[in-house]
Amino acid sequence: MVAGDGVGPEVMESARRVLERAGRLWGVELGWAEFGWGCEWYRRHGQMMPPDGLDVLAGYDAILLGAVGAPDVPDHVSLWGLLIPVRRAFRQYVNRRPVRTLPGVVSPLVAGAAIDLEIVRENNEGEYSEIGGRLYRGEDAELAVQEAVFTRRGVDRVVRYAFELARARGRARALVTSATKSNGIIHTMPFWDERFRAVAAEYPDVGADQCLVDALAAMLVLDPGRFDVIVASNLFGDILSDLAAAVAGSIGIAPSANLNPEGELPSMFEPVHGSAPDIAGRGVANPVGMVWSAALMLEHLGHAGAAAAVERAMVASLADPASRTRDVGGRASTVAATEAMLDALDGAPGGPALRS
């Protein structure tokens, strides 16, 4: 557990309570280790985590991250000092972002159509490479160069994950949509398109579609129900997943999973709402994004029953106006919203541990 900054410790405590209750009900024993890394650590030590931080984390099955970021620490320091090194050192090449409309969470779309899709973002290369630099700082000739890196191995594995996910979702017509911009980006995007088509040929039972990212963004707003699984590069996936979460009603409840799908190294699970320093310490943060991320962790670790129970409890808490936090139109505190999820877990049909 790395609770991190801002509201991170508050929502992490909610996730811990919900996970422990679900574990007791479903016979899942959870062992915790807490690390106080983040911006406060940076203020004291000049780095976001200790030099051996990655070696320490490598010994665990999974990582729960609350939030990273503070107003007095530049984003490139906080993200590149903790979040991105973890994603890359542990080959978490898939960023999985489920997007669903949920009861009690009002979509800003006039149509109000039900949304149930997944965005699979390439998480280790693409536009977010470290290759590049700046020259002639402060002069008229100053320039900045940022290189995008796309490898056959990197593209193929994330596209293949998207097709496997679409197949597992079991829709009547499974569909993977690829976000591209090959009409304007001359080298990397045509390469992405070629590899997408090559992998798609391995999955004749799953539909495959390619869409220019600008048009795709418009379609997410105008007709989000048409999508099943969207696969995108690091940059496009970053933007589209936040857009889709907002379309579904609130980025504040959106979960994410940074996955090493093979399980050779630990995966990391985090909400995407950030540290929200403006409400930190006030007890009003919405715990749903953190709890939903924790459910994705349970699923990844092989405890599908417990994960589904946590998601049902989360949905039940949102369905009741009394247990919604203010960001989704309610007045409940973080603690009250958490208690509602615990009550929903207790009131649900018992898991294996209770029936045995």
Could you tell me the residue ranges of all domains in the chain?
1-92+261-356, 107-248
Distance between CA atoms of 34 and 64, rounded to whole angstroms? 10
Superfamily of domain covering 107-248: Isopropylmalate Dehydrogenase (3.40.718.10)
Distance between CA atoms of 341 and 287, rounded to whole angstroms? 10
Distance set, CA 127 to CA 97, 187, 292, 340 (Å): 19, 13, 28, 41
Distance between CA atoms of 140 and 53, rounded to whole angstroms? 41
Question: 139 Cβ partners below 8 Å, 6+ apart?
Answer: none
CB-CB contact of 293 with 255 (8 Å): yes
Helix (H, G, I), strand (E, B) or coil at 281: coil
Q: Under CATH, to which class is 1-92+261-356 assigned?
A: alpha beta
Q: Can you tell me which residue has the tokens 């999973």?
A: 257
CB-CB contact of 104 with 328 (8 Å): yes
Question: pLDDT digit of tens for each residue in the chain (356 aa)?
Answer: 999 999 999 999 999 999 999 999 999 999 999 999 999 999 999 999 999 999 999 999 999 999 999 999 998 899 889 999 999 999 999 999 999 999 888 888 866 668 999 999 999 999 999 899 999 999 999 999 999 999 999 999 999 999 999 999 989 899 999 999 999 999 999 999 999 999 999 999 999 999 999 999 999 999 999 999 999 999 999 999 999 999 998 888 999 999 999 999 999 999 999 999 999 999 999 999 999 999 999 999 999 999 999 999 999 999 999 999 999 989 999 999 999 999 999 986 666 665 44
Question: 32 Cβ partners below 8 Å, 6+ apart?
Answer: 1, 16
Distance set, CA 346 to CA 22, 311, 316 (Å): 9, 13, 12
Tell me the Cα Rg of the chain: 20
Q: Concatenated DSSP letters for 300-356? A: HTT-HHHHHHHHHHHHHHHHSGGG-BGGGT--B-HHHHHHHHHHHHHHSPP-HHHH-
